[in-house]
Chains A and B, each alone.
Chain A
């Protein structure tokens, strides 16, 4: 296993599209890093540069402090698992998993033991003689992973490996990947646009937008202390509510409501008196109150344990996540308060901390 360093990586495609800007990341040995971001933000491009499938325009790539920037893919000792599995249809599971080793002319007995060991880890022992067409999507994805495991690569790369699976299987396979990571203690780079996957799997998350890294941190850091408006709006489901306003006399004042700051917040926002701010509140931080901000209910969604209430506070939309069963009707009014808020500088969109 190995550490991986990405230093000032940039990618400009032949058509002058710059897909990745100054990407810096130190992946520690055995760490699972998740790259997350909306479609087209450059996640796959970054991963493909690490795999060697895409030329690196500028910057450096190191494995165990060895420069592999211009090394051909087959020498990098990196295994990639693709979204569409890329299995050979005419080969059995066993042959699919053994294939890369057969190409390397490894001893057949050694290959056999590696394949059996990988199949055991992945629970594929009974499927080894089947063809990919006879397997379920989840099993196929496991075969694709098995093919990576038998190679005992230094680094595993995953590009949206679960997006072809239905929701239930996705959850199960996600947990399997997590277990696999624990068992192999492998260095992994995992790309997804699904924040649930990112939050559940990652040791650290890299959140990207438009080719730029927005924030790197643990799942909790990204959830609890987002660096800017983009990360705040991307991480969390349902997404954070945002209100535009300004700081006036120790309160956040928007068109629709006035939110008095506590001592700590006043201290924090001293420099922002009379400046434009964005206030962010996660739906789960909106709590029912006897008085405060008045929300007019548009829609009440019961999820069992929680209720999502969509409404408006004056002219602003707001989503509240209450921890109990509620039965609001359209047009009902409810008073809410915020038990945790985030402030963002409207000019730079960075969080004020």
Chain B
């Protein structure tokens, strides 16, 4: 066996821990995001139903990504695809609550004051984008590894059959 083939052969006995680890990291970043967003010294920007949806989404997000992080370990294509989809959703989310919150103002001493500071906004955007990027990366790595492994397995099969 040459180096390349050994590397492929190793896939048969090792789990896809890279994708799994990246997905878990994405969960952590998402936690950072939602503990950071509702914080403000001046006024508030709670949107009754939207906040509710956001809380539920965060729960579903964590559950899904956690399940996927286990699933990708064993080279299942579906979990990789799901990770990519969820990653894209993270990007889309930057346009909803963060955007609204950043645009919200209150009148303080007759002056329009932003509820969310620039720094806070940058931070939560980074959390979301990074989380989404990690998920997409995890998914792509998962797909590549899975495809490599499946192709290799097919190769072995034809070899033993021949």
Contact = CB atoms under 8 A, between A and B. Distances in A.
A129 B10 contact: no
B7 A109 contact: yes
Contact of B6 (A92, A109, A128, A129): A109
Nearest to A93: B13
Contacts of A115: 13
Nearest to B10: A112
Interface string B1-40: 1010011011011100000000000000000000000000
B13 A109 contact: no
Contacts of A116: 9
Interface in A102-153: 108-109, 112-113, 115-116, 128-129
A277 to B, nearest CB: 64
Contacts of B9: 112, 116
A129 B7 contact: no
Contacts of A234: none
A113 B7 CA distance: 10
A113 B13 contact: no
Given A109-B6, A112-B6, A129 B1 contact: no
A252 interface: no
B30 to A, nearest CB: 27
A117 to B, nearest CB: 11
Nearest to A98: B13
Contacts of A128: 12-13
Contacts of A344: none
Nearest to A92: B13
How many interface residues does chain A have, given as a range?
10 to 19
Interface residues of B, number: 9
A109 B10 CA distance: 8
B47 to A, nearest CB: 45
Contacts of B6: 109, 112-113
Contacts of B12: 128-129
Contacts of A156: none
A122 to B, nearest CB: 15
Nearest to B5: A109
A94 B10 CA distance: 10
A108 B13 contact: no
Report which residue of A92, A109, A116 has the largest number of chain B beta carbons within 10 angstroms of its beta carbon: A109
Contacts of B1: 113
A94 B13 contact: yes
Nearest to B6: A109
A129 B1 CA distance: 21
A273 B93 CA distance: 106
A129 B153 CA distance: 15
Nearest to B14: A94
A79 B83 CA distance: 44
Report which residue of B1, B10, B13, B14 has the largest number of chain A beta carbons within 10 angstroms of its beta carbon: B13
Contacts of A129: 12-13
A128 B13 CA distance: 7
A277 B12 CA distance: 68
A221 to B, nearest CB: 46
Contacts of A109: 3, 6-7, 10
A113 B10 CA distance: 9
Contacts of B13: 92, 94, 112, 115, 128-129
10 contacts: A92-B13, A94-B13, A109-B6, A112-B6, A112-B9, A112-B10, A113-B1, A113-B6, A128-B12, A129-B13
Interface of A: 92, 94, 108-109, 112-113, 115-116, 128-129
Please list the 7 inter-chain residue pairs (A to B) with the smallest Cβ-Cβ separation, ordered nearest first: A94-B13, A109-B6, A112-B10, A128-B13, A112-B6, A129-B13, A109-B3
